[in-house]
Amino acid sequence: MNFARNITLAACCLLAGACGKSRPVATARSKPMEPPCYWVWHRSNALKPAELENLRRAGTKTLYWQAVECGWKDGKWDAVRIAAPMAEIEGVAVIPVYRIKPETDFLGSPDAVESFARLFTNWADGGKFTGLQLDFDCPDRLLDRYGKFLRELGQGIAPVKISITALASWPRHPEFAQLAGSVSAMAPMFYDLQADKPEDVLKSRFQPMADLKSRALIESWSACPVPWLAGLPNFERISVFNLNGSLSGHLRGWTHDDLFFKEGMKPTALGEGITSYETRAFTSLAGTPVSAGSRIVYRTPDQEALAKLSQVADEAGAAGVIYFVLPGPGIQAAFSAGHLACKSSPQLELILHENGSVVLKNGGPADLPANPAEGAWTLVLESETAGIFRSGAPGNFARVTVPGGLPAELATQVVLHFSKLAGGESIASGPVVADAKRVLWSVPGITARAVAAGTK
């Protein structure tokens, strides 16, 4: 999935719609939108039971799983297998996705279709798949050739049905109807539509992950003659910008704790899921050097914006919404599948263990999402008298602090800090409580003070 599609919205709205050709006739949706489905990216291991349970609670029926990344080189396909063939997973269909690198030479080769079909057959290794999705950012000028390639490939691997990812602007292209007729379904991606301009960066203006300005593009897909899924963002990003506003790069391998609890990094909330940090001295983040004066920007999809874009897609006739990406190893997804499918609040519970450790559990489907603007979340433990707490390791929490800098043994309050807590997950500390019977707890902004649950 390309993270830099950089199509300006203005250009998309002015694409060749006045070319004299008739608009394609949309296929009317006869039932409500499907439950959300997901792209699974850069993952080779199977889903864990807790992940499957989360998907079941969300009603998800289909996953589009990256299987192969390939490119046309020296007259043949050069392929890297990302994941082995996976059959249906307990009621969830798995559609393999082949990511094709941006090179376009294969569209002019007479051997590309047959060798691609062979590539797919060899990968499937006798497995039965109902569908195959191709992820290729085809230049507009070559959509006719891409459509021809897809039609011939569909014949070569029948009865497997082919679907494709799509650029948001394609419905305004004169070859769109012919391209759509080459596949069974399409998945346009309504994110990463614009790059951050240096002049905007210097004014603290950044492109949001879920951009309401993409509404017109979503509405243009109402003319799509085949079923389509609206691709919406469910990933987080940390970008580093230079002093002149140019992009230095997007960080990889980062964690929320890396950023939210970095000393000397003061967050500034800019709205729309964007938080900015200024570096006043040379530092490093997730192993990446960051120069003094650089600007670090954390972005996550705004929940209200996601909900509005999903509603626009529904009104435009989308068969459903597909989110990039499903949470998994190495992927900083914004929300769990259960969270995106529900409208409830987190259900937090504190459990005290006999050894003095505490476990904060989120028993509901809704997440307690990342909260960078407030310096992340805090679990506050309180007692009426000193001697109730003891010095201990944070465990899976980011850190433990004591107001006033007192030793925990002399304090009446201990604070544990954490970044987020997804629905169905829990987080545990080291031994920090000496007398579990006399502890009150709260997560400010979420829960009121309450007596801690009994020991376990």
Residues 348-390 have pLDDT tens digits of 999 999 899 999 999 999 999 999 988 899 999 999 999 999 9
Residues 270-274: what's their mean pLDDT?
A: 97
pLDDT of 19 higher than 60:
no
Q: What pLDDT does residue 6 have?
A: 45
- Residue 136 in tokens: 């290729």
Q: What pLDDT does residue 22 have?
A: 44
Look over the chain and give the mean of its residue pLDDT values, rounded to a whole number.
Answer: 91
Domains of the chain by residue range: 9-235+301-341, 237-299, 348-451
pLDDT band for 302, please (50, 70, 90 cuts). very high
pLDDT of 88 higher than 90:
no
Q: What pLDDT does residue 329 have?
A: 82
Say if residues 58 and 20 touch (Cβ distance below 8 Å). Answer: no
Q: What letter does residue 410 receive in the DSSP assignment? A: G
- Residue 38 in tokens: 């997901």
Residues in Cβ contact with 14 at an 8 Å cutoff, skipping those fewer than 6 apart: none
Distance linking the first and last C-alpha atoms of the chain? 45
Query: Picking from 17-21, 120-124, 262-266, 312-316, which range would have the lowest pLDDT averaged per residue?
Result: 17-21
- CA-closest candidate to residue 423, choices 58, 39, 48: 58
What string of DSSP letters covers 353-417? -TTS-EEEEE-SSS-B---GGGTSEEEEEE-SSTTSB-----TTSSEEE-GGG--GGG-SEEEEE
Q: What pLDDT does residue 28 have?
A: 61
Correct CATH for 9-235+301-341 of 3.90.226.10, 3.20.20.80, 3.90.950.10, 3.40.50.2300 = 3.20.20.80
Q: What pLDDT does residue 331 have?
A: 82
User: What is the C-alpha separation between 5 and 22, in angstroms, rounded?
Assistant: 27
Say if residues 418 and 377 touch (Cβ distance below 8 Å). Answer: yes
Single pTM value for the model? 0.91
- CA-closest candidate to residue 136, choices 62, 191, 72, 184: 72
Q: What pLDDT does residue 35 have?
A: 94
Q: What pLDDT does residue 328 have?
A: 86
- Residue 269 in tokens: 């909330």
pLDDT of 3 higher than 60:
no
Residues 169-197: what's their mean pLDDT?
A: 97
Say if residues 290 and 238 touch (Cβ distance below 8 Å). Answer: no
pLDDT of 2 higher than 80:
no
Query: Picking from 137-141, 214-218, 308-312, 374-378, which range would have the lowest pLDDT averaged per residue?
Result: 374-378
Q: What pLDDT does residue 25 have?
A: 56
Say if residues 455 and 354 touch (Cβ distance below 8 Å). Answer: yes
Q: What pLDDT does residue 223 have?
A: 94
- CA-closest candidate to residue 411, choices 424, 419, 401: 401
- Residue 56 in tokens: 């079941």
**Residue predicted with more confidence, 23 or 278:** 278
Q: What pLDDT does residue 26 have?
A: 63
**Residue predicted with more confidence, 158 or 49:** 158
Residues in Cβ contact with 225 at an 8 Å cutoff, skipping those fewer than 6 apart: 24, 25, 26, 27, 177, 180, 181
348-451, what's its fold? Immunoglobulin-like (2.60.40)
pLDDT band for 215, please (50, 70, 90 cuts). very high
- Residue 377 in tokens: 């979340």
pLDDT band for 24, please (50, 70, 90 cuts). low
The three-class DSSP label of residue 412 is coil
Residues 198-222: what's their mean pLDDT?
A: 97
- Type of residue found at 218: I
Q: What pLDDT does residue 53 have?
A: 87
User: What is the C-alpha separation between 89 and 62, in angstroms, rounded?
Assistant: 9
- CA-closest candidate to residue 100, choices 60, 142, 54, 58: 142
pLDDT of 18 higher than 90:
no
Q: 91 in the Ramachandran plot: left (φ > 0), alpha (ψ -120 to 50) or beta?
A: left
Kindly state the percentage of the chain with pLDDT values over 90: 82
- CA-closest candidate to residue 334, choices 439, 440, 250, 210: 210
* Crossing angle for the helix pair 143-157 and 112-124, to the nearest 10 degrees: 50
